[in-house]
Amino acid sequence: MGANGIGTNGFMALRLTVNNHPGVMSHVCGLFARRAFNVEGILVTPQQGGDTSRIWLVVHADDRLGQMIRQVRKLHDVLEVLAFEADQSALSRMDECMAGWEQAGPCAEAGM
Amino acid sequence: MFEGNGAELVIRLLERQGVKRIPGIPGGANLPLYDALGASRQIRHILARHEQGAGFMAQGMARTTGAPAVFFATSGPGATNTLTAIADAKLDSVPIICITGQVPSSLIGTDAFQEVDIYGMSLPVTKHNFLVRSVDELVHVIPEAFRIASSGRPGPVLVDIPKDVQTARVSLRELPEPAQPDPVEAPDAQAISQAAQMIGQASRPILMLGGGVAASGASAAARALAEAASLPSTMSLLGLGILPDAHPLNLGMLGMHGTRAANILLEECDLLIVAGARLDDRATGRLERFCPAARLIHMDIDQSELDKLKVAHLGITGDVGASLAALLPLVGANGKENDRAAWLARVAECKAANPHTFPGLDNPLTPYGLVRVTGELLGQDAIVVTDVGQHQMRAAQAYPDLKPRAWLTSGGLGTMGFGLPTAIGAALANPARPVVCFSGDGSLQMNIQELATAAELGVNVTVVLADNGGLGLVQQQQDLFYGRRIFGSDYRVRIDFVKIAEGFGVRALDLNESRDPMADLERALKREGPCLVRVPVQAEDNVYPMVPPGAANIDMIGGETCTEKGGN
């Protein structure tokens, strides 16, 4: 990673393939929080078979990106890290995808 | 073939890993593990008096042997008490494995008695951690904990095992082979040859050696390279002892309480080769002004250390011993290595103008003398442990010829209370060797309960206590940088440490009341079993030289003529 991999709009998307177990989100989010790397957006999708998940992280493409990727690679449940040029449009379109769920309104009973 | 419960399986797997001793403390949530441990013929349990003490005992074993060491704690407060020792191991890359009991799975998340989320709490201070969710996972998790702790850059691993997982029945047709550290990839040949070229082209190179060199057993490789390429060498706190004190290329320690010569010469170097060090702020001082004229070659087994603080002109990921060894045949052939006369003359002149001498070295009743005389009396075989504070810096500065894996000090975390339990662990793993623990009264009070453990075990640990009635290194900063306002850092009650030690069943003497301090110190150091030697020192005696926090290394205070400063 480096200057030649940075998106023109200042965002990058990191695609993490991770072991799918209850602690893995804590490991990834905790790392970003304690190393003071900002995450602009996050999306998790289970993969076929259920043994692995994909975590998409939208981050600022600053000069700490290389360090960020090296730190994430050290996590034992992270199997692969790839970086892509990105913008925030994909994540904002996710809102549209959820609109179908929202249409009927929230369930009254849940958690009340 | 294995038939038993989860706890018995854990103990069997630990036995197969070659574990001989487990320090720890039992409690409600790990009693099945203790029941199984009690039946083991191979593993001896060491009953600590505080879980942090147990963690540092494991560190004492791991730091001296290089092999992962295991310790036990129960859930809740037992587990939280381990965190400081684990964080310390993380920062100094020490392979320890903490196995905690957890409340039964069905109660997790209900605020059950002695429940804490130690998985969540230990996440930022471990290399990796596990919450074991079923008995079937144990057979993978335990060997995996050993593999992770000891592979690449070593570090601490925590395994949290709910009580019902410990008691669940399990039968296995066969047990896995004991885990080994992963093989390390050879360093990139092209990078190595580029490094050799840069060394050949440099006029004023310096080699900086850190704890990674000691951990990879690469002292001989480092020395061979330094000699072959005429590289004056400095060491971080954890790298001390890689070169003998009297070696002409040895500049001593760099950084906050380093030698004046090392800090001055680093300012002048045109190439810095960092091997197994992570450029901590206590070593580099103000980073923008660290080695301002130098190109940087950085070698580390952890790629994320490269370019973390200072962008390297050349980074080499790999075992530092392998990298140093690969460099050796490539240097000295046709570069400037044979043309370093001017630089080596400058180094010799700078060292002569800034001698590394300290006041009162031959008198065991002075703060530097107690370090030097102890070292001379103990000879080459001793393991040297420190707590954290002025005594630690004086031991780093003045102990004669420290040795890798026999110099145990809390470098990254700077944990007061590290010394005594770490010394006990070192003595347990090295029963034939004398262990000395330099401590201060502030540090000793933070894990003083482990004197009981030392007495019970009869370990060969001599605590040499520099007692100044306060927090000396804090007072030093208040004296120098806070208008001499000494606040909150002096103890108003003078503790009778001799009586305290004797109350724990540990022999003790006050060297100040001795008619022949030299002879009494020697007797204390060479007698079997634990002993405490108290030496009163003055809190006003600052440690010099000192780089003010946040300042450049070149702006160090004091130490120009050490022989005229400080001392009693």
Minimum-distance CB partner of B307 among A22, A66, A74: A66
Average pLDDT over residues B237-249: 97
- Whether residues A23 and B124 touch (CB distance < 8 A) is answered with no
Cβ–Cβ contact A70 with B under 8 A: yes
C-alpha distances out from residue B491 to B74, B467, B487, B528, Å = 34, 11, 10, 32
Chain A residues inside the 8 Å CB shell of B148? 76
Mean pLDDT check: name the lowest of A28-32, B21-25, B142-146, B437-441. Answer: A28-32
How much of chain B is in helix, strand and coil states, percent to nearest 5?
45, 20, 40
Domain B367-564 in this protein, CATH class: alpha beta
Within-domain flag for A92: yes
Q: Which residues fall within 8 angstroms of residue A66, CB to CB, at 6 or more apart?
A: A1, A2, B307
Nearest CA in chain A to B153: A74
CB contact under 8 A, A76 and B128: yes
Q: Largest Cα–Cα distance of chain B, in whole Å?
A: 73
As a whole number of angstroms, the distance between CA A81 and CA A67 comes to 13
Position A42 pLDDT exceeds 80:
yes
Put simply, the answer to whether A76 touches B123 (Cβ < 8 Å) is no
Is some CB atom of chain A closer than 8 A to the CB atom of B146? no
Please tell me which residue of chain A has the smallest CA distance to B148: A76
Contacts of B153 (CB under 8 A, 6+ apart): B93, B127, B212, B300, B301, B302
Chain B contact present for A74, CB below 8 A = yes
Secondary structure class of B346 (helix, strand, coil): helix
Secondary structure (3-state) at B12: helix
B216 has a chain A CB within 8 A of its CB: no
Interface mutation vs chain B, best among A35, A37, A67, most B CBs within 10 Å: A67
* A35 touching chain B per CB within 8 A: no
Amino acid (1-letter code) at residue B411: G
pLDDT confidence tier of residue B92, bands split at 50, 70 and 90: very high
Task: List the single residue in A with minimal CA-CA distance to B127.
Answer: A75
Residue-averaged pLDDT of chain A: 85
In order of B65, B232, B428, the CA distances from B42 in angstroms are 18, 47, 15
Let me know how long chain A is. 112
Nearest chain B Cα distance for residue A82, angstroms: 16
In B352-497, which ranges are E strands?
383-386, 407-408, 435-440, 461-467
Q: Residue A110: inside a domain, yes or no?
A: no
- pLDDT tens-digit profile of A54-87? 999 999 888 888 999 999 999 999 999 999 998 7
Q: Does A26 touch chain B (CB under 8 A)?
A: yes
Rg (CA), chain B: 24
Q: Where is average pLDDT lowest: A70-79, B229-238, B262-271, B557-566? A: B557-566
* CATH classification for the domain delimited by B189-353, as one of 3.40.50.1220, 3.30.450.20, 1.10.340.30, 3.40.710.10: 3.40.50.1220
* pLDDT score recorded for residue B149: 98
Contacts for B418 with CB less than 8 Å, ≥ 6 apart: B56, B59, B88, B385, B386, B387, B388, B409, B410, B443, B447
Dump pLDDT digits (tens) for B267-279: 999 999 999 999 9
Residue at A68 is within a domain: yes
pLDDT the model gives residue B561: 57
pLDDT (mean) for B472-487? 96
Length of chain B: 568
Q: Which residue has the higher pLDDT, B122 or B561?
A: B122
pLDDT in tens, B146-192: 999 999 999 999 999 999 999 999 999 999 999 999 998 899 999 99
Contacts of B272 (CB under 8 A, 6+ apart): B205, B206, B208, B266, B291, B294, B295, B296, B297
Q: How does pLDDT run across B338-376, given as a tens digit for each residue?
A: 689 999 999 999 999 999 789 999 999 999 999 999 999
CB of B509 closer than 8 Å to CB of B533: yes
Instruction: Report the relative pairing of strands B383-386 and B271-275 from DSSP bridges.
Output: unpaired
Helix/strand/coil for B438: strand
| Alpha-carbon B27 to chain mean position | 29
- Which residues from A are below 8 Å from B119, CB to CB? 23, 26
Partners of residue A26 in chain B, C-beta under 8 Å? 119-120, 123
In a domain, A51, yes or no: yes
- Cβ distance A67 to B308 less than 8 Å, yes or no, reads yes
Q: Would you list the domain boundaries of chain B? A: 2-172, 189-353, 367-564
A27 and B307 within 8 Å at the Cβ level: the answer is no
* pLDDT surpassing 90 at residue A98: no
- What is the rounded distance in angstroms from the CA atom of residue B408 to the CA atom of residue B395? 11
Cα gap B151→B93, rounded to integer Å = 11
pLDDT at B220 over 60: yes
Q: Does A67 sit within 8 Å of B123, measured CB to CB?
A: no
The minimum CA-CA distance between A100 and chain B, rounded to whole Å, is 33
**Identical topology for domains B2-172 and B189-353:** yes
Higher-confidence position of B468 and B562: B468
Say which CATH number the domain at A58 has. Answer: 3.30.70.260
In a domain, A112, yes or no: no
CATH number of B2-172: 3.40.50.970
**Residue B48 — pLDDT band, cuts 50, 70, 90?**
very high
Return the pLDDT at B216: 95
Identify the pLDDT of residue B334.
64
- Is A30 in contact with B307 (Cβ distance < 8 A)? no
Distance (Å, whole) CA B347 – CA B250: 10
Whether residue B128 lies within 8 A of chain A, CB to CB, comes out as yes
Q: Provide the percentage of residues in chain B whose pLDDT is more than 70.
A: 98
List, for residues B9-28, the tens digit of each pLDDT value.
999 999 999 999 999 999 99
Contact status, residue B402 vs residue B38, Cβ threshold 8 Å: no
Per residue in B380-406, pLDDT (tens digit) is 999 999 999 999 999 999 999 999 999
List the domain range (segments joined by +) for residue A56.
Answer: 3-102
pLDDT band at B562, cuts 50/70/90?
Answer: very low
Tell me the count of A-B CB pairs closer than 8 A: 28
Which residue did the predictor score with more confidence, B558 or B504? B504
Query: In total, how many domains does chain A have?
Result: 1
- Measured between beta carbons, the chain A residues lying within 8 angstroms of B129 are 23
B510 phi and psi angles, rounded to 5 deg: -100, 110
Is B119 in contact with A23 (Cβ distance < 8 A)?
yes
Asked if B123 lies within 8 A of A30 by C-beta distance, the reply is yes
- Decide if A10 is inside a domain: yes
Higher pLDDT, A50 or A16: A16
Q: Which residue in the set B123, B148, B307 is minimally distant from A67, CB to CB?
A: B307
CA angle B90, B96, B98 (to 5 degrees): 100
Per-residue pLDDT tens for B275-334?
999 999 999 999 999 999 999 999 999 999 999 999 999 999 999 999 999 999 999 866
Q: Is residue A37 part of a domain?
A: yes
Q: Decide: residue B57, CB within 10 A, 0-12 exposed, 13-18 middle, 19+ buried.
A: buried
Beta-carbon separation of A34 and B303 below 8 A: no
Across the interface, of A22, A27, A71, the residue whose CB is closest to B123 is: A27
Q: Choose from A76, A78, A79 for mutation: most chain B CBs within 10 A.
A: A76
Q: So what's the pLDDT on residue B182?
A: 95
The larger pLDDT score, comparing residue A24 to residue A112, is at: A24
What is the 3-class SS of B536-553, one letter each residue? ECCCCCCCCCECCCCCEH
The per-residue pLDDT for B373 is 98
Cβ of residue B376 closer than 8 Å to a chain A Cβ: no
The Cα B403–Cα B244 span in angstroms is: 8
pLDDT band for position B98 (50/70/90)? very high
**Residue B106: Cβ-neighbour burial (10 angstroms; 0-12, 13-18, 19+):** exposed
Contacts of B123 in chain A (CB under 8 A): 23, 26-27, 30
Determine the 3-state secondary structure of A27 from DSSP: helix
pLDDT band at residue B107 under the 50/70/90 scheme: very high
Where does the pLDDT of residue A1 fall: very low under 50, low under 70, confident under 90, or very high at 90 and above?
A: very low
Task: Share the mean pLDDT of chain B.
Answer: 96
